[in-house]
Chains A and B, each alone.
Chain A
């Protein structure tokens, strides 16, 4: 009986969003109750924030197109890592040297907010993220062109 009622409720797709949002809210309340979580000091991808940098808070260290020392999980897999430490286009590079506000424009360079979680030669991430973006664009353009 109760299973039938639950299944009938879930089969209406208008109810999906509230159910999932409720589950997320429960989990986050639980997460707040479980605080504090320990912070591991030995981070593989350390993060230094230089407030004076014009790329703040996206300064990843090192000038573009020269090799820099960066930490890697598996160094043997990428011997040439570190040659490009920032993916600045010439325009972004000019903007960052003339103003202090490039860090406020997330779209100014590839990667953006997602690899703020971690960035250091995590090459596959930067490939998969634009893939997600392009697939989303493909869906949106298809839906736009076909109409209802």
Chain B
């Protein structure tokens, strides 16, 4: 009955020790921007999941990372924005091992097609390329460098941060598959 009559859309914080409480207002503009970022993140996730090319995979993963930064940075809280800044720097740094891994793969095997790399014809992908790929994907949004995002779940009115989690889960599964295949 309570669930029927309640309108549990707004987050309310209670001040301990007193009777005071304050609600958090989310502007429509902010929600609209984060919805756009979530949709872009979902499309990038789909691309990263279905692509058969190593370089396209790294591009889609970096797109996922940028969209996650956008979802988080739209929150108008100073604490969250500081976290978003740090996370953005990590995502920026992660592009070096990410694209480096793809470049080493291209140089040592001569191709970037995962189908061709999966066969024995292309030759073995060096360990350092696989490790760089995994580290790059970790930086773009995976545990344990993911702790910043756990902070975002406390962000005011945040249905869209779930997309961050979901995307990182998907690209985690995909990078395991890629590293096992090539």
Q: Could you tell me the distance between the alpha carbons of A38 and B107 in the complex, rounded to whole angstroms?
A: 8
B7 at the interface (CB under 8 A from A): no
Q: Which A residue sits closest to B149, measured CB to CB?
A: A13
Known pairs A16-B145, A125-B56; A73 contacts B116 (CB<8 A): yes
Q: Could you tell me the distance between the alpha carbons of A45 and B123 in the complex, rounded to whole angstroms?
A: 16
Q: Could you tell me the distance between the alpha carbons of A11 and B148 in the complex, rounded to whole angstroms?
A: 7
Give 1 or 0 for each of A4-24: 1 = CB within 8 Å of chain B CB: 000100110110110111011
**Chain B at the A interface: SS class:** helix
| CB interface residues, A 105-148, toward B, < 8 Å | 114, 117-118, 122, 124-125, 128-129, 131-132, 135-136, 138-139, 142-143, 146, 148
A31 at the interface (CB under 8 A from B): yes
Q: Could you tell me the distance between the alpha carbons of A129 and B111 in the complex, rounded to whole angstroms?
A: 20
B102 at the interface (CB under 8 A from A): yes
Q: Using a Cβ cutoff of 8 Å, how many contacts connect chains A and B? A: 135
- Taking the nearest CB of chain B, how far is it from the CB of A143, in angstroms? 6
Q: Which A residue sits closest to B27, measured CB to CB?
A: A146
Contacting residues, chain A, for B86 (C-beta < 8 A)? 13-14, 16-17
Known pairs A10-B147, A13-B86, A13-B151; A44 contacts B110 (CB<8 A): yes
Q: Which A residue sits closest to B107, measured CB to CB?
A: A39
A73-B145 in contact (CB<8A): no
A13-B87 in contact (CB<8A): yes
- List residues of B whose CB falls within 8 A of some A CB: 29-30, 33, 36-37, 40, 47, 51, 53, 55-56, 59-60, 62-63, 66-67, 69-70, 73-74, 76, 78, 81-83, 86-87, 89-90, 93-94, 96-97, 99, 102-104, 106-113, 116, 123, 126-128, 131-132, 135, 138-139, 144-145, 147-148, 150-151
